[in-house]
Structure 1
């Protein structure tokens, strides 16, 4: 606990930004993590059809997934800065969006951690 006379310790988990800003960043991260995960599954389906059966009719899925993943990178970096994730954790979360289903699993655990740390 800190009083006006004694400052909070340097390793305190107090956010540098308002909680409403963290809530918005977390909501954006969650939506884009799910969107990225689902589009990545669709991309895997498209790759099977393309390379397994010679059907190139769904090539637009790769473009959509690329843009959704780009938005996911921005949203994840925004959340990482606001909740002060260490660099390794932030990079691991960013990269998890490249492995089918892993991004969805990581999103669950990251969300639980952020909610617990900041009482959301």
Structure 2
């Protein structure tokens, strides 16, 4: 039987859950941008640039050898780098919730997959938030209903 989180760790769990929810939305958004960027690059042969000779925001075709032809900030590469680094932060937030809730290892693997499978981070965020909030509410209600040893001796 897995160990249950201690009541004293509930404030830390709430903080970890909030951090996980924020990381989940940011990671999921950048993953969707990354998928769109890859479709544009490998499906249509264009890259997205910010600034440079093409204006504020423009697309530039790839050369026949696959080289970039734009001269501004390559947003494709920027999206890739930001998602990669933020995925590390997302994994930390998954680990924090997972360890505080004392879930099994497969649950951590499912949480981690949320950053690499499109839309899964949004689905997992909703499921995890609902389950954790319900668990905390149920445990706090049960703790407030059960008599404490000090109050039993006072009777």
Task: Provide TM-score, normalisation by structure 1.
Answer: 0.83
Q: Which has the higher contact order (CA 8 A, sep 6+)?
A: 1
Helix, strand or coil at the partner of 1:91: helix
Deviates most, 15-24 or 91-100? 15-24
2:99 equivalent in structure 1: 81
What CA distance in whole angstroms lies between the structure 2 residues aligned with 1:60 and 1:11? 42
| 3-state SS in 2 of match to 1:100 | coil
Q: CA deviation at 1:34?
A: 0.6
- How far the C-alpha of 1:17 sits from its partner, in A, is 4.8
Give matches, 1:36-115, under 5 Å: 36-57=27-48, 58-115=76-133
Q: Between Structure 1 and Structure 2, whose CA radius of gyration is higher? A: 2
Runs of 4+ deviating beyond 6 Å: none
After superposition, where does 1:16-31 map in structure 2 within 5 Å? 17-31=8-22
Q: CA deviation at 1:111?
A: 0.9
If each structure's strand is expressed as a fraction of its own residues, which one has the higher value?
2
- Aligned residue-pair number: 111
Q: TM-score, normalised by structure 2?
A: 0.66
Q: Name structure 1 gaps, 5 residues minimum.
A: 1-9
Contact 1:46-1:59 within 8 A present in 2 as well: no
SS of 2:46's partner is coil
